[in-house]
Structure 1
């Protein structure tokens, strides 16, 4: 299976589907292009100068081998849930073993239906072909035949008509064969091996042996990953965080597809904003409940992105998840006709994303008589300790630091004596409830030195 344009197809913006995009290698030749560029007359292996003359608004991207490999690995991981044996064929191909999957899908037609359904979820163009050996399938897929059959005669006929340029032979061997009048694989396979061994080196015989299946062709099949890492390069630099929602949504949808297949969720995302002239900015987005839906994660990401003030345009996005958890079923009330749109844990996650992780907490009572120690702020929605001491007539709002009383109040309740420091006489406090001229009910205390302070305010 061949993916001829992984880099252009991976661009996460709508403009990439409307503008001509091409990928250029170090030799200034076109190695990948999108459909719009092909319609403008751009072709593979075309020189950059010729391509620019044909299409002045051609958008160019540098060829990145590591990015190409990362995308190919992500495609293989996406397909792993449908088919078991997948081997990478860098830079743009995959070998998929069919024979051990046909019984599961009740034949080749059922298997291809399941595999193509998974491929439609990906934004990448692809061409495919089946073959008796890996090299045979690759040769037919390179010709974009989309030939999927188990008939040996049909595969042999297509392989015999294949031009030599679609094989793994080097350029010198192809030119030498063409000078001898050999232009197709059928003509090459008809020659005696002794004659080929006398005229060519061992690489030609090794290739033909693996093409026929007489030599063993080792493949290294991938293993499933228990993490998620995807990168998308933007077609143009973006300074507005609101515009990042579109490419980010594409990454989150890929994450949702992977989580759905393994029936999992995640509590934490690592989102990196990449710049050209400065280090990446990393955001940690959390969900107290654990999410797998892309729409819910997008809301949490947008709340954090809205707080950012970018000083430099963003050139790419990197999304990573290092740990998955099993999905927990939501137990709704049997007699509730419409379940709540937002669960308590989801609401906590939204508040943490908007206000900050440390700005949202729960509140529990402690078995302490001092007001500073009578309450505790644990994680939200956690069951706290119940207070044994009855805390009557306590204010709803305690000041972070007691403030000296500077106004006239009318005392209506008190005193209540509390001693913070081992009942020392000089540390005793006499608490009162009073009302000021504004109608506010204050919680006051008087020290042993007859100084008055405001400790809290009643709601």
Structure 2
């Protein structure tokens, strides 16, 4: 038989809120607010789902109340589906709180159901969410058993049917009018419903009931739309409390960076640029861009860069949600590290550039680049470290390490050692230059780069180190 696994997340929006405070919390929904999700502390105070907000507030005066938003729960469900896609393939989203996994195609890869379930369970443990589960011989069978906390992990169809038949019709997904019509003829359980022949069921009830029973028993085809994640990484995290300082963003950001590391590792990729969107009160947004010149996948390395960059960010309003997505990806390049101990006391040029850019800002870090202009003042230019500029065709010449800007008049006696080297150029941009350059030695031992103008004046232009 085909085997399905359904995962039901009853407190998904509450579980995915980031917060470390030990305070009773409940989610409310509806025009007459009803409790739809509670945490363990609120449950210990006697608050349960379906209770009115007034009754809940009377039981717990310090209850933290948050509005339930189905769209936020659907985003969280898609995030878990994307996370599980790293270890299993056929996933179907049952919004707002369920995921259906097709187990049968994965059994060969994992050499049995036990290994497959262990991989799913260990992968889900990193999400830190509460869930109920069950297998089933049909998608609806697995869904019903999981939503009613059966925690059943078996491929025995007889046992699954036994557990399924005991459920009342009120627990099914049938419309209320169909359930009431079935109750009027004495049909109270799924077992009683399935005992009615299909022909009789089609004659006396709506076609929706027939289709539901056929799909529940696995005799009718159940059309499903499989989930396919995008190749880009994007993760969203709502916060339980407002955060008004950037240093408080470090822990929720670390959770997203850990997910990013797993995403990049499995694809053998690195990220060069990340965008952190800070959603502030009143839905104002601020984008913060992080760069890694070398490309990085480790969450620890990205956390250092993010921490340095956030030091220069000032929040005008408290942050209530954060979103992290990758702007630029690339293939991971091999590095010549020690086989057993990895890199020992070594920081690459690109890593240093990344740290400097994070600390000072990307527009304050430059590197010199040689060009083909023969004029000393214009023979070098500053560019961004990641810019790929063409290499100059001019041959390297003996030049001083330090140039004086502007040149200084030569006032001390010197000894000419080498020269002259005439530079007469610059006609194309109306900055004509005619000079005779010499290498000279001063009386105190300094090696100078001096030049003589057509007017016979002498200047010091540079100093050799």
User: Do they superpose with TM above 0.5?
Assistant: yes
How far does residue 413 in structure 1 lie from its aligned partner after superposition? 6.7
> Could you tell me how far apart the structure 2 residues matched to 1:314 and 1:60 are?
18
> Contact 1:365–1:386 at 8 Å: present in 2 too?
no
1:429 deviates by: 5.3
Does residue 215 (structure 1) correspond to residue 216 (structure 2)? The answer is: no
Distance 1:58 1:175, change over 3 A: farther
Structure 1 position 231 matched with structure 2 position 236:
yes
Partner of residue 391 from structure 1, selected from 398, 409, 414: 398
Per the TM alignment, residue 163 of structure 1 is displaced from its structure 2 partner at its CA by 2.5
- The runs of at least 4 consecutive aligned structure 1 residues that moved more than 6 Å come to 334-337, 413-417, 423-426, 430-435, 440-459
Corresponding position of 2:110: 105
How far residue 356 of structure 1 moved from its aligned partner, in angstroms, is 2.0
The residue that corresponds to 2:255 in the other structure is 250
The 3-state SS of whatever aligns with 2:322 is strand
2:299 to 294, 301, 311: 294
Residue 128 of structure 2 corresponds to which residue in structure 1?
A: 123
Q: Which position in structure 1 is the counterpart of 2:11? A: 5
SS state at 1:101 partner: helix
* Cα separation, partners in 2 of 1:70 and 1:292, compared to 1, 3 Å: same
1:122 counterpart SS class:
coil
Establish whether residue 152 from structure 1 lines up as the match of residue 154 from structure 2: no
SS in 1 for 2:378: coil
Report the counterpart of residue 36 of structure 1 in structure 2. Answer: 41
Q: Distance in 1 between matches of 2:352 and 2:344?
A: 15
**Alpha-carbon deviations, 1:215-251, whole Å to 9, x = none?**
2101111224211111111111111100000100011
Distance change in 2, residues 1:427/1:380 (3 Å): closer
**Which shifted more, 350-359 or 131-140?**
350-359
Q: Is the 8 A contact 1:9 1:124 kept in 2?
A: yes
Q: Structure 1 residues 198, 55: CA separation in 2 closer, same or farther (over 3 Å shift)?
A: farther
Structure 1 match to 2:20: 14
Q: Structure 1 residues 334, 155: closer, same or farther in 2, change over 3 A?
A: closer
> Does the CA-based 8 Å contact 1:255-1:294 persist in structure 2?
yes
Q: Which runs of 5+ in 2 are unaligned?
A: 1-6
- Cα deviation, 1:2-45, whole Å, max 9, x if unaligned, reads 11122111122322xx2222222233222223333323322222
**Counterparts in 2 of 1:313-324, with a 5 A limit?**
313-324=318-329
Cα pair 1:3 1:124 within 8 Å, conserved = yes
1:54-69 matches, within 5 Å, as 54-69=59-74
Match of 1:267 among 263, 269, 272: 272
CA distance change for structure 1 residues 425 and 362 in 2, over 3 Å: closer, same or farther?
closer
Deviation of 1:376 (Å): 3.4
CA distance in 1 between partners of 2:77 and 2:144 (Å)? 19
- The aligned counterpart of 1:339 is 344
- Report how many aligned residue pairs link the two structures: 450
Q: What is the CA distance between 1:98 and its match in structure 2?
A: 1.1
Matched-pair contact (CA < 8 Å) for 2:426–2:432? no
Output the CA distance in 2 between the equivalents of 1:276 and 1:79.
Answer: 32
Partner of 2:205: 200
Give the deviation of 1:72 after TM superposition: 1.1
Task: Please tell me whether the aligned partners of residues 365 and 387 of structure 1 are also in contact (alpha carbons under 8 angstroms).
Answer: no
Q: Say which structure is richer in strand.
A: 2
Give the TM-score normalised by structure 1. Answer: 0.86
Q: Select which of 258, 276, 285 maps to 2:281.
A: 276
1:166 alignment counterpart: 171
Structure 1 residue corresponding to 2:188, chosen from 178, 183, 199? 183
Task: Specify whether residues 426 and 359 from structure 1 end up closer, same or farther in structure 2 by C-alpha distance, changes over 3 A only.
Answer: closer
> For residues 421 and 235 of structure 1, do their structure 2 counterparts lie closer, same or farther at Cα, with a shift above 3 Å needed?
same
Please give the residue correspondences for 1:338-417 in structure 2 after superposition, counting only pairs within 5 Å.
339-380=344-385, 384-385=391-392, 388-392=395-399, 394-396=400-402, 399=405, 402=406, 410=412, 412=414
Partner SS for 2:281 = coil
